[in-house]
Amino acid sequence: MPELPEVEVSRLGISPHLQQQRIEKVVVRQRQLRWLIPDEVLQINQQPVLDVTRRAKYLLIHLPDGELIIHLGMSGHLKVVPAVTPAGKHDHVDIYLSNGLVLRLNDTRRFGAVLWQPKDTMHTLMENLGPEPLLGDFHAAMLLAACQKRSSAIKLVLMDNHVVVGVGNIYANEALFQAGIHPKMPANQLSAEKAELLVQVVKQILAKAITQGGTTLKDFSQTDGKPGYFAQQLLVYGRGGEECFSCQTELKEIRLGQRSTVYCPACQGEH
């Protein structure tokens, strides 16, 4: 599933093609994605694009009457192609632009979403979201306060969108490793010192991933496929049973919240 850095790279990739353009029309070939695409999306016509932003893992295309919300789900990706480019089997939504290009959503598994948020309202999916991890609202005091109320595993709290948005499974594994925190540690045992370190590490890891992803932006203007989500140097995720890069101890893999969790029993301790 695309995580926050991939979604942010998608935003950076599509933004130059949408800025100062109009959405002339929206063509929907498959209306039933994760949720039914609402009528308001089908009726978009000659609407100027005011901005393209991101909230958590949602992309928002701002129009005078509201925001077009796009979620990539598990397998979705966006590409920008000339309007004459034939649609493929899983190309479900085309957003036609005044510059002769089309913003095209491809989604093999159809777990993505294209929704509508009327002006001056908030979609239910946007309600109760925590702060953005790369902004100042995500800080050690805030994280510590949230953790003090919870006895569940720190990894699960870090992945809770009510606490902080966008820290998915990959980056939660990586951040806890770099902060030297065992993923099963009860959240209410997090110290102020470790909270400060964890916040710093989360910000650094996500920012680095976005920077790495910037090298793939050219792919958004290619007609032959995905944006090519970037290869990363992952220290623990997906490496269960291999040696820790730091101490050569065998990395352990467990399940937490039905998600794969990899950690180093030497660097992160045991619980």
- DSSP state, residue 51: E
Residue 226 known to be catalytic = no
Q: Are 109 and 35 in contact (CB under 8 A)?
A: no
Angle at 270 between CA 207 and CA 141, to 5 degrees: 45
Tokens, residue 14: 């599509």
Calculate the alpha carbon distances from 147 to 105, 157, 254 in Å: 37, 7, 22
- Spot the catalytic one: 57, 155, 184, 194: 57
Distance CA 131, CA 180 (A): 23
- Spot the catalytic one: 22, 196, 259, 265: 259
Q: Are 70 and 112 in contact (CB under 8 A)?
A: yes
Angle at 252 between CA 151 and CA 209, to 5 degrees: 80
Task: Find the DSSP H helices in the chain.
Answer: 4-18, 39-42, 140-148, 154-158, 169-179, 192-213
Residue 118 known to be catalytic = no
Residue 255 known to be catalytic = no
Residue 2 known to be catalytic = yes
Angle at 199 between CA 193 and CA 205, to 5 degrees: 130
Per DSSP, the three-state class of 63 is: strand
Active site residues: 2-3, 57, 259
